[in-house]
Structure 1
Amino acid sequence: MTIVDFLVIIFNVIIYYILYYYFPFSFLHYTSTVSINEVINYVLVDCSVWLTVAFTVDRFVLICCQKLRERYCREKTAAVIITTLCVVSCIKNILLYFAFEPGYIIDNVEWAVDFKPAYFTWPGWITFNWIDIIFNPLLPYFLILLFNALTVRHIVMANRTRIALQGQHNTQNSDDPEMQSRRKSIILLFAISGTFIVLWIPAVVFFLISRITDGHFEPDQYTNPLLIADYTADMFQLLSSCTNTCIYALAQSKFREKLRNAIRSPFIAVIKLIK
């Protein structure tokens, strides 16, 4: 999740939104380069979203499904799920490369991109567009809310049962290791999935409003409310990819330890060479 979110920041924020606008008429503006970068951005965002779903499901199985936990919560299973999500995201979004055409041509050189007119009228592209928004983020929204609700329900019931069996009150169980472990799990779960839900709300609302009202706008109409809403939704959507790394750094001691080791390893290698 952290690697994919970091790649989103590199390709979607730094390259697409910063370098693209500050270096006009560079190779970044070639039609082929922009088309490839658009596809990469869609792939990375889809991977980021569905890895959040996979994390939510993983927490649900770990906490709620005792029998399934031994078979599911393994490194091999995680590798298979991560690979499958990445491959499916690539296959789905590679079709977008054929939805673009050059924005303009100067001296036989194709610059920028626009969606082909058929993208807005051909039933195949319209169907693809709806499948894309269902795939991300409507279905992930539903799955995250569902599994979060089931996980919380299980934790609340398990805590009540544990308190009843021990014959103690909630205030007397503050040092219970099992209760603390469950509390940490639910905090991490809601920190990651909760930020995803909140930060993706503008993108979902904008999509629904633009489709219901059939609103269209030109990319250079900077005072158009729809364009402002579109850029605002993109900003919050990309911000959601920055939060997971911060949450892991703050909440996971093993993640902090690995990060410290990664930072110190080059210096340790240099010191060993000097000695």
Structure 2
Amino acid sequence: MAIAFADFLVIFTGCILNRIGRIYLRYTILSAFPVCAFSAVLVYISRDGSVWLTVAFTIDRFVAIACPSLSTRYCTEKTALLVIGVICSLFCSKNIPLYFVTQPLVILEGMPWFCGIKPMFYTSPAWQAYHYLDRVLTPLLPFFLILLLNALTVRHILVVNAARRRLRGSLNGEDHEMAKRKRSMVLLYAISISFLLLWGTYVGRFLYIQITGKDYFGGLDFNNPQYILSEMTNMLQLLSSCNNVFIYAISQNKFREEMKKVLMCPLLLITSCFKCRKTQQKITT
């Protein structure tokens, strides 16, 4: 549920506030300097939270499947809440400094509009170290961790399934345990491939900029190939968060049950209010 909430925040802050608001709702409150700077920080916080909660989910699945002795102590609700709290606190603290490196692009009638990066961000060694650390934490390190852990998990599943087939021998009938492991493999493959494909363009563009030193610093130029590439990488990056929710909803029964509870909660609240109101009316009459 934390992953779903983080992905929803990515969609809301990254798509609605930042992209749609910046392009189609110019010179509104969303474009005022303090608001756009704060919304940019929210985009980075929700993005990092979504990515690293996916990593935490991958670690959880690896421990549950490949480390049964550790899973009884690690795969608990208390540990999950602790991991979620640490990830949210860590990346909130990490991205708050970005607010102080932004500046207004223009001043119109004494009012600051739009957000830009201060020149010291590109010259200060401390800010450049921060920039590279940000790229390593999201998405380079998650790339490596998700690939490594999913490869180890799938390898463990294949080894256990082979041993189970040898033990069962010629016994007929459906093996529910092997079917469960196969569903786990499908989920892990779906998460890995989705994450790699949708973040691959972002990583490739980052490496291209580091090698060539060429980046796009212009405004909204929909005919510029560099601007189109930049926006495409951002679109695929945001789509990764949208995609995760559908993957979990399709593959996880418990996730679907919890999502139904969340979606039904407003309806149940409204119906309970109507019932209370009818009860009060009967008592007064």
Q: TM-score range by the shorter chain?
A: over 0.9
- Following the alignment from structure 1 to structure 2, what is the Cα–Cα distance between the partners of residues 215 and 60? 39
Tell me the residue number matched to 1:61: 63
Relative to structure 2, which stretch is displaced further, 229-238 or 248-257? 248-257
Tell me the residue number matched to 1:238: 238
Question: Secondary structure of 2:112's match?
Answer: strand
- Give the residue type in structure 2 aligned to 1:8: V
Q: Would the alpha carbon gap of residues 30 and 271 (structure 1) be closer, same or farther in structure 2, given more than 3 Å must change? A: closer
- Following the alignment from structure 1 to structure 2, what is the Cα–Cα distance between the partners of residues 114 and 231? 17
- Following the alignment from structure 1 to structure 2, what is the Cα–Cα distance between the partners of residues 256 and 53? 20
Q: Deviations over 1:159-207 (max 9, x none)?
A: 11111111148xx56x101101111112122222321111100000011
1:11-160 equivalences in 2 (<5 Å): 11-160=13-162
Aligned-residue offset at 1:19: 2.6
Q: Is the 8 A contact 1:99 1:115 kept in 2?
A: yes
- Give the residue type in structure 2 aligned to 1:188: L
Tell me the residue number matched to 1:259: 259
Provide the TM-score with structure 1 as the length reference: 0.93
1:125-274 equivalences in 2 (<5 Å): 125-168=127-170, 175-217=174-216, 218-265=218-265, 266-267=267-268, 268-269=271-272, 272-273=275-276, 274=278
- Following the alignment from structure 2 to structure 1, what is the Cα–Cα distance between the partners of residues 215 and 202? 16
Aligned-residue offset at 1:253: 2.2
Q: Deviations over 1:73-107 (max 9, x none)?
A: 00010111111011111111111111111101112
Question: Secondary structure of 1:24's match?
Answer: coil
Q: Percent identity?
A: 41
5+ long unaligned stretches in structure 1: none
Aligned-residue offset at 1:22: 2.0
Q: Is the 8 A contact 1:215 1:226 kept in 2?
A: no
- Following the alignment from structure 1 to structure 2, what is the Cα–Cα distance between the partners of residues 97 and 262? 33
Q: Is the 8 A contact 1:31 1:113 kept in 2?
A: yes
- Following the alignment from structure 1 to structure 2, what is the Cα–Cα distance between the partners of residues 34 and 261? 34
Q: Is the 8 A contact 1:47 1:86 kept in 2?
A: yes
Aligned-residue offset at 1:270: 5.3
Aligned-residue offset at 1:260: 2.9
Provide the TM-score with structure 2 as the length reference: 0.90
Question: Secondary structure of 2:215's match?
Answer: coil
- Following the alignment from structure 2 to structure 1, what is the Cα–Cα distance between the partners of residues 88 and 253? 27
Superposition RMSD on alpha carbons, in Å? 1.7
Relative to structure 2, which stretch is displaced further, 40-49 or 96-105? 96-105
Tell me the residue number matched to 2:283: none
5+ long unaligned stretches in structure 2: 280-285
Q: Would the alpha carbon gap of residues 259 and 110 (structure 1) be closer, same or farther in structure 2, given more than 3 Å must change? A: same
- Following the alignment from structure 1 to structure 2, what is the Cα–Cα distance between the partners of residues 136 and 249? 24
Q: Deviations over 1:40-92 (max 9, x none)?
A: 10000000000110011100000000211111000010111111011111111
Question: Secondary structure of 2:42's match?
Answer: helix
Aligned-residue offset at 1:232: 0.6
Alignment length (residue pairs):
272
Relative to structure 2, which stretch is displaced further, 221-230 or 112-121? 221-230
Q: Deviations over 1:117-173 (max 9, x none)?
A: 11112111111111100000000000000001100111111111111111148xx56
